Structure 1
């Protein structure tokens, strides 16, 4: 039990670095709600394994964690063919396309493609593979939806609309496919007819490429 709790606490500390590098012991202790002595002991363990480093009074993650990250990416099932397929849709719609996998209370982006037009035109959110999105996002809402349903999220301040559909839902993992476009390019009617149709067609293609169940 103690070993399990230690692992959970180490993972919580690693996740707390999402707010950025150069975290103080006080900040980390507050983030994980643990005493300074406990966090310091776990940091020393992680430091010994090469996953964090100390610079003065601040702590940061090391590039060695990328080994775990790359191993995780290799297990997502996303290859060059799937990435090219996502890019084709992003370019055709002048938007951004994401594949997200269900996490604990969030959806984790495991593949992302953006068009050059999107990068110039849409106020780009700093999203990339490995980032998470909360339950208010269309990508999260699309997880486990029935085949004929889709989700939508409006971002009027950014002039962006996002739609999402379920890509795969199973006992081990659930995936969703999302598309974000600029509101100046598509009316709500076009989004609900043309883009939802395009997203469903892309879902069939990606399922074949990922070998996710029957299509």
Structure 2
């Protein structure tokens, strides 16, 4: 049995997150369908607990108290992900990663390395821009504000293969949506290829799972088979985390 006030408070927090972390009351009302008065009362409670803050322009933003919860949740997700990443290593022979989007950056939160002597590492905790990585493309593909993210971060060239225009990146994200997976074909690091798929929470990309390795080894794996294996493991992980 759900508690209505808790449901509504969570609706407000999720609406703030979907608006890029801050929004006005009218925007929250439009997104949640809640009356203005209800939203005001919920915001005052969340404000008192530090889960939101009020900006100088009277808009509301996600508050610092969420960082503490988010850090603890992120550590637990990394622990839960390990056996699923190990399964991907077993299936592909390559390094498997779990990444999430924090603000405008991709953060690697868990990894199981390949047992091979020549293998790829993305250090856990590393923050990278999303445009040159398969995980970043997956995490932005379904978002309506991808162009705004690219305008804020720029599209710096990492290698000769990096996509460096907003138009081309939006076309790339369209391909990701169509095929259900993303590729990094030496766009972040020369000689390294990667495939990633989303970990879904109710249709939203909560995280991304990937395998990465030397280009010649990744390219030798049948692409459809690799994508299928990634989706199966990512779906199993999402079901275990979110119970869906």
Structure 2 CA distance for partners of 1:191 and 1:182, relative to 1, 3 Å? farther
Return 5+ residue gaps in structure 2 as ranges: 1-66, 143-176
Structure-1 residue corresponding to 2:192: 160
TM-score by length of structure 1 reads 0.54
1:132 aligns with 2:122: no
Contact 2:93/2:114, CA 8 A, preserved across alignment: yes
Secondary structure at the aligned position of 2:91 is classed as: helix
Distance 1:186 1:97 in 2: 12
Secondary structure at the aligned position of 2:124 is classed as: coil
Structure-2 residue corresponding to 1:183: 215
Q: Give the root-mean-square deviation of aligned CA atoms.
A: 3.2
Structure-1 residue corresponding to 2:181: 150
Q: Deviations over 1:131-161 (max 9, x none)?
A: 1121211110011444852110112864321
**Segments ≥4 residues shifted beyond 2 Å:** 69-74, 79-82, 144-148, 156-160, 168-174, 181-188
Distance 2:97 2:206 in 1: 14
Deviation at 1:185, TM superposition (A): 2.5
Structure-2 residue corresponding to 1:99: 98
Contact 1:97/1:114, CA 8 A, preserved across alignment: yes
Matches within 5 A, 1:46-57: none
Contact 2:107/2:127, CA 8 A, preserved across alignment: yes
Corresponding pairs, count: 141
As a proportion of its length, which structure holds more helix? 2
Distance 1:169 1:94 in 2: 27
Structure-1 residue corresponding to 2:167: none
Contact 1:102/1:173, CA 8 A, preserved across alignment: no
Structure 2 CA distance for partners of 1:210 and 1:177, relative to 1, 3 Å? same
Deviation at 1:180, TM superposition (A): 0.8
Contact 1:108/1:133, CA 8 A, preserved across alignment: yes
TM-score by length of structure 2 reads 0.49
Secondary structure at the aligned position of 1:187 is classed as: helix
Contact 1:165/1:178, CA 8 A, preserved across alignment: yes
Distance 1:140 1:150 in 2: 11
Structure 2 CA distance for partners of 1:103 and 1:70, relative to 1, 3 Å? closer
Contact 2:78/2:109, CA 8 A, preserved across alignment: no
Contact 1:168/1:175, CA 8 A, preserved across alignment: yes
Once the two structures are overlaid, the 10-residue window that deviates more, 166-175 or 138-147, is 166-175
Structure-2 residue corresponding to 1:121: 118
Return 5+ residue gaps in structure 1 as ranges: 1-68
Secondary structure at the aligned position of 1:179 is classed as: strand
Distance 1:90 1:159 in 2: 19
